[in-house]
Amino acid sequence: MPDPTGVTATRSQVAGAKRFNGGEGCYYANDTCWFTTKGDNRVWNYDAAARTIELAGPVFSPDGRRLYFSSQRGTSGSSSGGITYEVTGPFRG
């Protein structure tokens, strides 16, 4: 994500981003994320194992308002391009 501050909407920051018509539900099993879009009544799947994405170390800050996780390959796709992300809440407690 080029601009983690969110000045530009996340969906508009990456030229190759896929836009979906009204996200509805989501389920994850066996390295695959399944989700539906209500605007076109479709079921989609994303095979994370085939895309060689690896997320590591999800952890909340002590106050529970920030979630941190890391990607071993980051945006470069190489094992030396690791990056850590911060997601702000609120989250359910």
Residue-wise pLDDT tens digits, 18-64: 777 777 778 888 878 888 888 888 888 877 766 666 667 788 888 88
SS3 48: coil
Is 24 contained in some domain? yes
Nearest residue to 57 (alpha-carbon basis) of 67, 65, 66: 67
**Average confidence (pLDDT) over 4-23:** 73
Please tell me whether residues 67 and 89 are part of one structural domain.
yes
Alpha-carbon distances, residue 35 vs 21, 26, 65, 90, 91 (angstroms): 11, 4, 26, 23, 21
Say yes or no to pLDDT of 2 above 80. no
pLDDT given for residue 86 in this prediction: 84
For residues 28 and 64, membership in a common domain is answered with no
Confidence of residue 93 (pLDDT cuts 50, 70, 90): low
Say whether both 58 and 86 belong to one domain: yes
The number of folded domains in the chain is: 2
Identify whether 89 is part of a domain: yes
> Does the residue 85 lie in any domain?
yes
Same structural domain for residues 79 and 58? yes
Structural domain includes residue 3: no
DSSP 8-state class, residue 39:
T
pLDDT attached to residue 49: 67
pLDDT range class, residue 83, cuts 50, 70, 90:
confident
> Residue written as tokens 């996200």?
23
Most distant pair of Cα atoms in the chain: their distance? 40
User: Is residue 39 domain-resident?
Assistant: yes
Closest CA to 70 of 81, 60, 58: 58
The band of 75, judged by pLDDT with boundaries at 50, 70 and 90, is low
Note down the domain range covering 91.
53-93
